[in-house]
Amino acid sequence: MMKKIYPRTGDTQTVYLNAVVKDPSIEVGDYTIYNDFVSNPLLFEQNNVLYHYPINHERLIIGKFCSIACGTKFLFNCANHTLKSLSTYTFPLFYEDWNLEKSNVSDAWDNKGDIIIGNDVWIGYEAIIMAGVHIGDGAIIATRAVVTKDIPPYTIVGGIPANPIRKRFSDDIIQKLEILKWWDWPIEKIHQKLPYILNGDISNLFDNRK
């Protein structure tokens, strides 16, 4: 886990996210960054992880080396008013007024599960990630996209709701990258192989994975 909060000297808008979050139900991998030029990035849990209440026991899991832009929002299950009822009004939440059982309060919404973000994912400005969504390694989420369904690895998506625009690489390269999982390498090895990563030299990188 990162102990250093700010990756760059003098830049207080960008933080290593797992040095900032305190909620044990939010897991963030090393070197994942969050940038916020509107609000204090130290308030990520308060400003960006929304409708995330203990009653649902839901988790936000974000991998390593992700880049999360200003204003990204993660909307959890309490934002999903149930569609099983004839009304979208959250009667069970206001059980006192309607003489309902307090134990049934979670019937007010549909629980779609955890939000899971892979490694090396780039999430653009003011994107919204909905409850239950899984985003694959290396994916890119465009500015202000609303992600309502799972995104495959190394896929660029955009729009409302977000739809695939294109894959970043060929299927063969994507398969190799998923095998390599360079983000799990020791930091010393990443430093050593960084020229190959930066230059897109997948063949050399793969041949020298040992």
Catalytic residue numbers?
Answer: 81
Q: Give bridge partners of residue 163 from the DSSP assignment.
A: 158
Token pair, residue 24, equals: 């044990």
Contact 107, 92 (CB under 8 A): yes
What's phi and psi for 38, nearest 5 deg? -105, -50
Contact 96, 78 (CB under 8 A): no
Instruction: Tell me the HSE value of 58 on the side-chain side, using a 13 A CA sphere.
Output: 26
Contact 150, 138 (CB under 8 A): no
Contact 19, 4 (CB under 8 A): yes
